[in-house]
Amino acid sequence: MAKVKVVEQITKANDQIALQNRQLLDATHTLAVNLMASPGAGKTSLVMRTIEALRGRLRVGAIEGDTASQVDADKVATTGVPVVQINTGGGCHLDANMVRPALHELPLAEIDLLLIENVGNLICPAGLALGERINVVISSIPEGDDKPYKYPGIFTVVDAVVINKTDLLPYLQFDLLTFRRLIEGLNSRARFFQISCKTGEGIAEWAQWLADKFEAAVGDGVNHT
């Protein structure tokens, strides 16, 4: 019997396809953002708000991931932006191989910012790259302030943490300061946004951050208005 050293990441096959997706997106100067959250945190609402806030500044497109149904894509389509729905058929996350055909269905050359709404889940999406350059987790006030303790993995790998439904703060027990301090401790590079998709609080600041990321990553200062 002989021991063979391997040391190979179990996500390697996914990572290779994700890299191809990213190269495709880079070629069309499209910045992709992977939006992750538990079900009901407000992913689709944030996609809608972001499209609205960036209208006339960036050309936005969307991929909507869900286990089943076309509901989210139909909702986003009312804004007039190109959108593709991916149904995972019960699968708990999007992976790079599911995103690849969706990219080919979208007019990428006419999209600056591609918002990819992952399946509602705080566990599985965190470990699987899709081709995005920016990872975001959305948490919401009703979910409670203990989410980073229960799902630390996702909070450590993201570029931004968005806390949604701040309009509910007066009615619920949520220690925003401790929540924020824990995330800063776990992930010092993550930007923190407090928003309410209902009232619009914080949306402008969030949208500006995305616009700045686009300019820095692929915009080359080009104005697409």
Partner 1 sequence: MHELAITEEILRIAVTHAERVGAKRIMDINVVIGDLSSVVDDSVQFYFDFLSPDTLAAGGTLHFRRITARLRCRQCGLEFEPQSMEWHCPRCQALGGEVIAGQEFYVESIEVE
Interacting residue ranges for partner 1, rule: CB under 8 A: 1-13, 90-93, 95, 123-124, 126-127, 146, 148-149, 152-153, 156, 178, 181-186, 188
| Closer by beta carbon to partner 1, 136 or else 183 | 183
* Least separation in angstroms between CB 178 and partner 1: 7
Answer whether 96's CB lies under 8 Å from 25's CB.
Answer: no
| Closer by beta carbon to partner 1, 32 or else 119 | 119
Q: Which two tokens stand for residue 147?
A: 């989410």
In angstroms, the CA 155 to CA 135 distance is 10
Q: Give the CA count within 13 Å in the CB-facing half-sphere of 110.
A: 7
Q: Is 176 exposed, middle or buried (0-12, 13-18, 19+ CB in 10 A)?
A: middle
* Least separation in angstroms between CB 16 and partner 1: 12
| Closer by beta carbon to partner 1, 5 or else 104 | 5
| Closer by beta carbon to partner 1, 115 or else 190 | 190
* Least separation in angstroms between CB 210 and partner 1: 26
| Closer by beta carbon to partner 1, 68 or else 204 | 68
* Least separation in angstroms between CB 152 and partner 1: 6
In angstroms, the CA 61 to CA 40 distance is 21
Q: What is the DSSP string of 102-131?
A: HHHHS-GGG-SEEEEE--S-SSGGGG---S
Question: Residue 51's closest CA among 207, 222, 188?
Answer: 207
* Least separation in angstroms between CB 84 and partner 1: 21
* Least separation in angstroms between CB 29 and partner 1: 31
| Closer by beta carbon to partner 1, 77 or else 124 | 124
Main-chain phi, psi angles of 98, to 5 degrees: -80, -35
